[in-house]
Amino acid sequence: MSLTNDRIKERLIEKFGEQVSNFEEPYGMLTFEVPKDMNLKLMQFLYDDEELKFKFLTTLCAVHYPDNKGRELAMVYHLHNLTDNIRIRFKAYLDINKPDIFTATKLFEAANWLERETYDFYGVNFIGHPNLKRILNVDEMDYFPMRKEYPLEDQTRKDKDDEMFGRGGSIGYGTVKTNDDTTIAESEKDNVGDKLV
């Protein structure tokens, strides 16, 4: 008898009662929510339980919802039961001013870098993580770039004098900057002489 979403749901409610909530099944995957201090307890239960056996961490990531006051960051975990081949997803919402959650590294080695990545991009603080440092971005970075307050670069921005890339500001391809902050075309620069920088 293989495991079904209904059975998992039943088993979870049996164990945790009202603490697990918001059950959904988008595109067939059981999805639910737990309080943020419950994530490790829940994963431990899912891992150890004779029937559930969720022993494989597929992935974890964060999502930023700036409009959800008090629960701006969502941690999303995907777990896989390889014996019965069923996946589940659960979420824990965090306050962006205090984004603390327990680490899953004690249970899954795979969580180590995934959590570092999540910290790197969203600033989620994993309590108990052995080495919570930035992983893909430079160490000197002082913000968390995947948060929604940092939009991607606007192609028409004017504040950046980016000659190296020939974009932004008043500098474009084939133009040269002059002393008096105007630009002239590359082809005409011979005629201008000392006006050039």
Partner 1 sequence: MSDVVSIKDKHIVLPDGSIEKQTTTLNLGPIHPATHCIMQNILEMDGERVVSAKQTIGYIHRAFEKIAERRPLYQITPLTDRMNYCSSPINNMGWHTTCEKLLKIKIPKRVDYLRVIIMELARIADHLICNSIVGVDTGAFTGFLYVMQYRELIYEIWEEVCGSRLTTNIGRIGGFERNFNNTSFTKLEKFLDEYPRVLKEFENLLMRNRIFMERTIGAGPISAERALNYGFTGPNLRAAGVDYDVRVFSPYCSYEDFEFTVPVGSTGDCYDRFLVREQEMWQSIEIIKQAYQKIQEFKGAEAEVYHADVPEYYLPPKEDVYTKMEALIWHFKIIMGEINMPPGEVYNCVEGGNGELGFYLISDGGRTPYRLHFRRPCFIYYQAFEELVRGSMLSDTVITMSSLNLIAGEMDS
**132 binding partner 1? (CB under 8 A):** no
What is the layout of strands, in order, in the sheet containing 73-81?
21-24, 30-34, 86-94, 73-81, 56-64
**110 binding partner 1? (CB under 8 A):** yes
Tokens 């984004």 belong to residue: 99
**29 binding partner 1? (CB under 8 A):** yes
17 or 151: whose CB is closer to partner 1?
151
Shortest distance, CB of residue 109 to partner 1, whole angstroms? 5
**58 binding partner 1? (CB under 8 A):** yes
**78 binding partner 1? (CB under 8 A):** yes
In sequence order, the β-bridge partners of residue 2 are none
CA separation for the pair 118, 92 (Å, rounded):
14
Question: Cβ(166)–Cβ(172) under 8 Å?
Answer: yes
144 or 175: whose CB is closer to partner 1?
144
For 50, the token pair is: 């004779």
Crossing angle for the helix pair 39-48 and 5-16, to the nearest 10 degrees? 120
Q: Which residues bind partner 1 (CB under 8 A)?
A: 26-27, 29, 31, 55-59, 61, 63-64, 76, 78, 82, 85, 87, 89, 108-110, 112-114, 117, 121, 135-138, 145-146, 151-152
